[in-house]
Copies of this chain bind each other. A is one copy, B any other.
Amino acid sequence: MSQLYIIPHDHEIKLDHRIERSGHKPLLIWLTGLSGSGKSTIANALEKKLFAESYQTYILDGDNIRSGLNRDLGFDGDSRVENIRRIGEVARLFVDAGLVVITAFISPFERERELVREIIGSENYFQVFVDCPLDECEKRDVKGLYKKARSGEIKNFTGIDSPFEKPNNPDLIVDTITSSLEESVDQILNQVIKRIS
C-alpha cells in the first residue's frame, strides 16, 4: 500500500473557522540557540504573556518531545535531524489547529531549521535566534551539561564537540546578555503580535 492510497477527506472545520473563533492567526515561534542561552526561559515567559492576552498557545520542547514522540531517537546526526523534522511536522499540526506554538530546541543546523520553514510555510514561521556567547552559556551551565561535555561524559554536545551554525536570516535576534528576560520577551512579542493579529 503506497501513499497513493491515502485519499484525502475534506475536513469541514478549517483553519479559517478556527481563526474566526479565536480572533488570531496561528504561528510557529522557533527559538534556536545554544544550551543555556535562555530558550526555555524565554519560551515560558512568552507563553505566559500570550496566554494572558487570550492567545491559544502551546510549548514544544525537549521536556514533552524527547520523553514521548521522539523517545526512540538518540543524539547522533541522523537522529537529531529526524528529531527536528518530527517537531516541525507536529508544529504544523498545531498551526493547522490554530495555535501559536513556541519551540525551544538548540536546532544547531541551518538545513534543519530551513526544513522546518519548508514544512510549516514561511508565512507561519517566525525564527528567533537566542544569542548568547558560548563562554557565557558555559559559565551559567544551569544543567551542568557543559562540564559533562568538557569531561567527555557527553558526546556531540553543541558548542563543544558539535557545531552551532548561526542562523543566516532569523526574523529576530535577542541578545540575552544585553537584554533582560522581560526585554527579550517584549522584543519577540512586538513582532509576533503583528504577525498573528
B contact residues around A1 at 8 Å (CB): 75, 154-157
B contact residues around A56 at 8 Å (CB): 56
Which residues from 52 to 73 on chain A have a C-beta closer than 8 Å to any C-beta of chain B?
54, 56-64, 66-69, 71-72
Check: A40 CB closer than 8 A to any chain B CB. Answer: yes
The answer on a CB contact under 8 Å between B6 and A62 is yes
Check: A92 CB closer than 8 A to any chain B CB. Answer: yes
A39 to chain B, nearest CB (A): 10
The answer on a CB contact under 8 Å between B119 and A61 is no
Range, interface on chain A: 35 or more
Q: Which of B44, B86, B156 contacts A9 (CB 8 A)?
A: B44
The answer on a CB contact under 8 Å between B89 and A3 is no
Given A89-B69, A97-B58; A44-B12 close (CB under 8 Å): yes
Q: Which of B10, B11, B143 contacts A7 (CB 8 A)?
A: B143
Assembly stoichiometry (copies): 2
A36 to B67, CA, bound (A): 35
Which residue of chain B lies nearest to A156 when distances are taken between CB atoms in the complex?
A: B1
B contact residues around A3 at 8 Å (CB): 66-67, 71
Q: Which of B62, B75, B93 contacts A68 (CB 8 A)?
A: B93
The answer on a CB contact under 8 Å between B40 and A9 is yes
The answer on a CB contact under 8 Å between A68 and B12 is no
A44 to B7, CA, bound (A): 15
Check: A96 CB closer than 8 A to any chain B CB. Answer: yes
Using a CB–CB cutoff of 8 Å, the interface residues on chain A facing chain B are: 1, 3, 5-13, 17, 21, 40-41, 44, 47-48, 51, 54, 56-64, 66-69, 71-72, 75, 82, 86, 89-90, 92-94, 96-97, 99, 104, 119, 143, 145, 148, 154-157
12 further contact pairs, Cβ within 8 A, besides A5-B154, A64-B93, A68-B119: A3-B66, A6-B63, A6-B66, A6-B67, A9-B40, A9-B61, A11-B63, A58-B96, A60-B93, A68-B89, A68-B93, A93-B94
